[in-house]
Amino acid sequence: MSGGRATVLVAGAGIGGLTAALALADKGFKVIVAERTPRLEEAGAGLQLSPNASSVLIGLGLKSSLEACAIAPEAVSVMSGPRGGELVRLPFDKPDPVAPYWVIHRADLQAALAARASTHSLIELRLGCELESFTTNADGVVVNLQQETALQRETVAALIGADGLWSAVRRQLDPATQPRFTGLIAWRGTVENRSPLDQASPSRVQLWMGSNAHLVTYPMAHGQQTNVVAISSGQWHDQGWSVPATATEASAAFTAPRWSEPARAIIASVTHWRKWALFTLPASATWIDGRVALLGDAAHAMLPFAAQGAGMAIEDAAVLAMCMSEGAGDIASALQHYADLRRERVARVQNLAQQNGRIYHLAGPIATARDLSMKLLGGRRLLARQNWIYNWRA
Ligand SMILES: Cc1cc2nc3c(=O)[nH]c(=O)nc-3n(C[C@H](O)[C@H](O)[C@H](O)COP(=O)(O)OP(=O)(O)OC[C@H]3O[C@@H](n4cnc5c(N)ncnc54)[C@H](O)[C@@H]3O)c2cc1C
């Protein structure tokens, strides 16, 4: 089907689904993107886009639109939650023009992808259009969609489930696999950097490690805001990315003396909190059945502690489009090839994210030993440990 006009239906216009639509259309496929929400939500906050992901997006022609809203931080500062100082700094070199390290608001990234998709003659974006179910036959996939009160039925060559953690496509493809609550909650807020002094402060990602909790901050909105995400344990595990939360619950794990004054000051500066419960999928989840495939969170939702949730969805999209383009019309084999190429790497990133969580949340003497070994290793060598992630190219 290389260069042909087979139609692919992508369920979900999140980061993975929109990137897949652009990558598939660039290879000559017609794409229908069905997105459940009637408009792309402002919900969500910052995402980190490492070079493995930014290079894909730049390759799809998004460089100027993303440069207008992303920030290239100069370093990651690893901070001591109990003591308050910087333990080690991981310096980013001058940004690579074709593969920078960016931080960006999720809504800005989604809007840039959607704007590009809406100008592509091979992409049709249907908002307020929910995938309900599908059946497969020898000719393709019959997809049942609901748009407002109207039922729609499309017969397509392939169905890609990019419909996130609670994927309707996965529910049908692999009903036994359910998201698992990790016992962790992310609390999220933004702080307005009002004074010019705040805005001039170095654009660094800060990772604050403390006992059973951690804190990540980075600049957004041209340095006018700081994104704050605090992670701690809890029982609450409703669905949703942006459930309102109180300052009392968000700050409960960040008290003296285990957390120093500077870390507590960051928490105290957030006025409006949102929370989302962290769920993951097991690495054994099924991704493929014939002409139906999953990508992104629908296939492999992971803890956000390697900052690769969006990155892996973007990589998936690029590899999926390449496999379908090179698949000579055998879509089932092309999708199988996509899964074969992706599974090992994604499982490794899922493991890393889990391991990072354990390391960040250490307490007592073992945390002191961790801090010392990080200092001894130094920022450059710590950063080089991420090369296997960041140096990936489509
Ligand atoms: C509203 C929202 C806010 C988020 N905020 C953050 C954040 O602040 N920080 C962070 O690290 N990660 C956040 N994430 C998750 C992050 O975007 C993903 O981990 C990552 O980008 C992988 O993206 P994805 O495309 O696989 O899934 P998602 O980004 O979750 O996108 C899935 C899309 O599918 C749509 N959808 C779901 N079911 C159906 C259906 N049946 N039919 C059609 N469409 C459907 C959803 O509305 C959504 O647009 C957020 C996700 C969402 C949806």
Mutation choice for ligand 1 from 160, 172, 241, CB with most ligand atoms inside 8 A: 241
Atom 25 of ligand 1, nearest CA residue: 16
Q: What is the three-class DSSP state of 208? A: strand
> What DSSP string describes 104-164?
EEHHHHHHHHHHHHHT-TTEEEEETEEEEEEEEETTEEEEEEEETTEEEEEEESEEEE---
Comparison of pLDDT for 385 and 139, the residue scoring more: 385
- Does residue 306 belong to any structural domain of this protein? yes
Model confidence at 4: pLDDT above 70: no
Distance 213 CA to ligand 1 centre (A): 24
Sign of CA dihedral 237, 239, 240, 241: positive
Distance 367 CA to ligand 1 centre (A): 34
Distance, C-alpha 378 to centroid of its chain: 27
Number of structural domains the chain divides into? 1
**Quick one: which atom of ligand 1 is closest to the CA of 163?**
34
Range of the domain at 16: 7-43+106-179+281-355
Percent of the chain's residues with pLDDT above 90:
86
Model confidence over 90-120: pLDDT tens digits?
999 888 999 999 999 999 999 999 999 999 9
**Average pLDDT of every residue of the chain:** 93
For the chain, the farthest-separated pair of C-alpha atoms sits apart, in whole angstroms, at: 65
Model confidence over 234-285: pLDDT tens digits?
999 999 888 999 999 999 999 999 999 999 999 999 989 999 999 999 999 9
- Does residue 67 belong to any structural domain of this protein? no
**Quick one: which atom of ligand 1 is closest to the CA of 16?**
25
CATH, residue 303? 3.50.50.60
The candidate with the shortest Cα–Cα distance to 209, out of 49, 356, 381, is: 356
- Does residue 59 belong to any structural domain of this protein? no
- Pocket lining for ligand 1, CB < 6 angstroms: 11-17, 34-37, 41, 43-45, 47, 106, 130-131, 162-164, 168, 188, 241, 296-298, 304, 309-310, 313
Interatomic CA distance for residues 28 and 6, integer angstroms: 8
- Does residue 81 belong to any structural domain of this protein? no
Model confidence over 164-187: pLDDT tens digits?
999 999 999 999 999 999 999 999
**Quick one: which atom of ligand 1 is closest to the CA of 130?**
42
- Does residue 159 belong to any structural domain of this protein? yes
Distance 164 CA to ligand 1 centre (A): 5
- Does residue 50 belong to any structural domain of this protein? no
- Does residue 264 belong to any structural domain of this protein? no
- Does residue 342 belong to any structural domain of this protein? yes
Interatomic CA distance for residues 371 and 366, integer angstroms: 9
Atom 14 of ligand 1, nearest CA residue: 44
State the pLDDT confidence band at 67, using cuts at 50, 70 and 90.
Answer: very high
The candidate with the shortest Cα–Cα distance to 123, out of 57, 25, 17, is: 25
Model confidence over 69-92: pLDDT tens digits?
999 999 999 999 999 999 999 999
Q: Residue 381: its pLDDT value, please?
A: 97
